[in-house]
Amino acid sequence: MRECFDLLRRFDLRGIFLSPTQNGFLQFFRYAFVGGIAALVDWGTLFLLTDGLHLHYLVSAILAFAAGLAVNFLLSKRFVFRAQTARMHPAAEFAAYALIGVIGLGLTELILWLLAPVMHYMLAKLIATAVVLVWNYAARKLLYRKN
């Protein structure tokens, strides 16, 4: 954790985002940052499809998930887990990454289904995002662990 705070204090963007690291706290910081970008894509797509095209929010959530997953995969490979990705065939890596994401999608759909009837679907999506962030990071960290 100290390494991350030192990099932030020095505003060392290369160290924060680009330098290879095995530091779990710094990887989680990067993952949360990348996840924030992917979440904006996911939420924006959800809102546009639901309010703009009038699709049902559960259908929109699936399509928005796909967009967010693609952004998350590409940015995570580049900024979070890049030192560990060379060991896997890209197709196998994406399939495993997507499987973890599909479980996250299931959690998202369940939370939306439970909460959207009692609160705005976007607030329910925010809660789901927090839960799924923890699931996705833990599962993907296991995926990229060293042999």
Q: At residue 108, does pLDDT exceed 70?
A: yes
pLDDT exceeds 50 at position 107:
yes
pLDDT digits (tens, 9 = 90+) for 73-91: 888 777 776 655 556 777 8
Contact 26, 4 (CB under 8 A): yes
Annotated domain spans of the chain: 2-143
20-74 pLDDT, tens per residue?
Answer: 777 777 777 888 888 889 989 999 999 999 999 999 999 999 999 889 988 988 8
Q: Which amino acid is at 52?
A: G
Q: Is the confidence at residue 14, as pLDDT, over 90? A: no
CB-CB contact of 41 with 71 (8 Å):
yes
